[in-house]
């Protein structure tokens, strides 16, 4: 079994502590067997099962009320292979699978109307003002990446690691942040690209994330896609008062990109933005929201 990273230990520990406190009248004690396991200490498998049996007994309630914790719980308990401890992952698995299915089927159900679209601004001054409302550096960086650059898929940043040196970025199996750039290697359209990151973002990354008291090799965090999507949606509620998904923000940006090109005739900039989103022109046009008035008479792709 692969050793746990520091960020994984923290993620699993946070999830266990959060769930434990919901089903007990006290916080979890440091002497609990599951925390001993996470610390790499000797643990008693029988006690670990007994102490965490509440998860099995309350799995339906956990799935209904704390679904964002399911991926972490499943990943943690999948590390145990004794017959008894396997029960945890067997019980959690169907609920985690159902959560993923529901997310994939309904992630774009948010009703877009003119009033909602009008809330979104990609203007630098508006983004910087909104970023001040976000306390946690990694969440602030996520928001700024999604609104100050052509809007990429959320997973591109979820999969980005922090490189220690130039040798790291030669590993093209991962996305990397290094020297104020993000190297996208793993992405849906399979097109590699290097993004220049604005100074306002790199100053937070370099000073508040890399120099953090809780360093992590992940730029944003070691999270599942479903959890990251939920976090992003909560950020949108915090800032705009609406449950915008990352896909909806991408559609709004694509529409504004085309609208701006129609108004200015600057096709070169439009195509650059479209490429940095990870789109070809056909995909870009499919992302247009009808509510955004487009005049494309000035655009010529010939």
**96-129 confidence digits (pLDDT tens):** 888 777 666 655 555 566 777 888 999 999 999 9
Its pTM stands at: 0.65
Q: At what angle do helices 86-106 and 70-77 cross, to 10 degrees?
A: 150
Query: What percent of the chain is modeled with pLDDT above 70?
Result: 91
pLDDT surpasses 90 at 295: no
Domain residue ranges in the chain:
6-106, 109-302
Strands 181-184 and 193-196: antiparallel
Q: How many residues does the chain have?
A: 302
- The per-residue pLDDT for 183 is 97
Cα(264)–Cα(300) distance, integer angstroms:
12
- 3-state secondary structure at position 175: strand
Element (DSSP H or E) covering residue 39: none
Angle formed at CA 277 by CA 231 and CA 69, multiple of 5 degrees: 20
CB burial of 168-194 (b: ≥16 within 10 Å; e: otherwise) equals bbeeeeebbbbeeebbbbebeeeeebe
- Identify the pLDDT of residue 38: 94
Please report, for residues 13, 176, 205, 296, the alpha-carbon distance to residue 275 in angstroms, rounded to integers and kept in the order given. Answer: 39, 19, 24, 19
Q: Is the pLDDT of residue 27 over 50?
A: yes
**Cα→Cα distances 73→41, 50, 76, 223, Å:** 19, 16, 5, 12
Dump pLDDT digits (tens) for 148-172: 999 999 999 998 999 999 999 999 9
pLDDT, residue 106, reads 59
Q: Which two tokens stand for residue 228?
A: 């990251």
Q: Please tell me the distance from the alpha carbon of residue 176 to that of residue 262, in angstroms, as a whole number.
A: 34
Strands (E) located in 69-198: 160-162, 175-178, 181-184, 193-196
Instruction: Give the CATH number of domain 109-302; options: 1.10.1410, 2.40.50, 1.50.10, 1.10.443.
Output: 1.10.443
């Amino acid at each position: 079994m692969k050793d746990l990273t520091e960020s994984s230990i923290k993620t699993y520990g946070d999830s266990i502590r959060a769930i434990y406190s919901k089903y007990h009248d006290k916080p979890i004690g440091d002497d609990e067997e599951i925390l001993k396991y996470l610390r790499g200490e000797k643990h008693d498998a029988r006690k670990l099962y007994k102490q965490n049996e509440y998860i099995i007994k309350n799995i339906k309630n956990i799935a209904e009320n704390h679904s964002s914790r399911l991926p972490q719980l499943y990943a943690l308990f999948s590390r145990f292979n004794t017959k008894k401890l396997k029960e945890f992952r067997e019980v959690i698995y169907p609920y985690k699978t159902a959560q993923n299915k529901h997310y994939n089927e309904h992630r774009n159900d948010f009703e877009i109307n003119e009033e909602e679209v009008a809330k979104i601004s990609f203007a630098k001054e508006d983004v910087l003002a909104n970023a001040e409302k976000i306390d946690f550096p990694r969440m602030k960086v996520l928001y700024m990446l999604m609104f100050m650059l052509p809007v990429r898929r959320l997973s591109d940043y979820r999969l980005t690691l922090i490189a220690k040196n130039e040798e790291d970025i030669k590993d093209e199996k991962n996305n990397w942040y290094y020297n104020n750039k993000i190297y996208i290697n793993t992405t849906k359209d399979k097109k590699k690209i290097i993004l220049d990151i604005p100074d306002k973002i790199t100053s937070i990354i370099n000073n508040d994330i890399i120099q953090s008291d809780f360093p992590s090799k992940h730029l944003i965090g070691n999270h599942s896609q479903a959890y990251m999507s939920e976090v992003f949606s909560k950020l949108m509620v915090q800032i705009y008062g609406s449950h915008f998904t990352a896909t909806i923000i991408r559609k709004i940006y694509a529409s504004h990109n085309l609208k701006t090109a129609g108004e200015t005739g600057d096709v070169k900039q439009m195509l650059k933005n479209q490429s940095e989103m990870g789109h070809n022109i056909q995909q870009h046009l499919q992302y247009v929201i009808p509510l955004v008035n487009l005049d494309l008479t000035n655009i010529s792709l010939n």
